[in-house]
Amino acid sequence: MNKKDKAVPRKAFADDEATEGPFPDERLDGEKLQKVLAQAGFGSRRAMEEWIATGRVSVNGEPATLGMRVKEGDLVRADRRTIRVGERVHAARVLLYHKPEGEIVSRDDPEKRVSVFDKLPKLRGQKWIAIGRLDFNTSGLLIFTTSGELANRLMHPRFEVEREYAVRVQGTMTEEQMTQVLKQGVELEDGLVKFEKLEDQGGEGFNHWYRVMLKEGRNRVVRRTFDALGLPVSRLMRVRFGIINLPPRLKRGMTAELGEGEVAQVLDWAGIFLDSDELQKDLPVSGQVDLTQSEKSRRRPASAAKNVRRDVRTGGGKSKTGVKG
């Protein structure tokens, strides 16, 4: 068995909800269908509920219904993919990619430009889900995962996950402009935007560098904000997403996969908790990643502590991952 896969115990699943009726202590058999699909990497639970409601999912050859539970051995088909419940559950995988400029974050591009998905390791029975996007001319940290639930947690606006960028603009911000983007905000065509943090990084000549942090991922929001201030962006790089930094040794065009302990830390920080068996298997050895800090990190991701640096295999040899501990 591949170390990335985990065998599911051969027993009926049980949910935390008790049955209604004369036997309140009896547990319902099976696992909720949308949860099984989300854990298998099809998408978020909410997305899976929509798939079920629109007839895109079947169980044992019959159309699935909302609220349905599945047991070990059931055959579930969602679009073109099929899984056998209880046969094998893939562990969540997280991959970091240093995107260069000139690549598109899409699998389908009418202009046939180079796609970031062309550079990723091939998967069997799963697919890489991009956590957020970067513009064609923007470089930096891209995160991919096989967990639809994790992708949803990190991208949904209500979770307000921090994104940090290094920005080079043509010109220099005035004190009034810096105060505006931090306090009053800048009005764009799709609403007001404020930076959570703005640092002057200096520069030479006409170009000037800034470090900005915000908690949203609207399309081209950083570029549009500086454009509205009359400061065109000449270079933009994402250097952090949540508790994951762009590893300094990860060169452009290279990937680095997080180890099991680091994945467990990211899941914990995102509020996705492993059961006790999974947690014991995924815990790192002493001295590598301290998950005892994850609750604090989840509440205040910006103040997460030092980088965790571990060797991982990449296309170009060893690199370092950038999970904050």
| Residues catalogued as catalytic | 135
Q: Please state, in angstroms and rounded to a whole number, the distance separating the CA atoms of residues 163 and 239.
A: 8
Residues 6+ positions from 14 with CB-CB distance below 8 Å:
27, 28, 29
DSSP character for 115?
A: B
Q: What angle do CA 64, 69, 70 make, to 5 degrees?
A: 85
CA distance 325 to 322: 9
Q: If residue 150 lies in a helix (H) or strand (E), which one and from where to where?
A: helix 148-155
d(CA 174, CA 104): 33
Q: Go through 180-204 and write b for each residue having 16 or more CB atoms within 10 A of its CB, e for each that does not.
A: bbeeeebeeeeeebbbeebeeeeee
Q: How many CA atoms lie within 13 A of 310 on its CB side?
A: 17
Tokens (6 digits) for 174: 């005035």
Token pair of 164 as six digits: 């940090």
Cα separation, 106 vs 235, in Å, equals 21
Q: Quick one: CA torsion of 279, 285, 286, 289, rounded to 10 degrees?
A: -70
Q: CA 234, CA 143: separation in Å to the nearest integer?
A: 23
Beta-strand ranges (E) seen in 7-103 are 14-18, 27-29, 31-32, 57-59, 62-63, 69-70, 75-78, 81-84, 89-90, 94-99
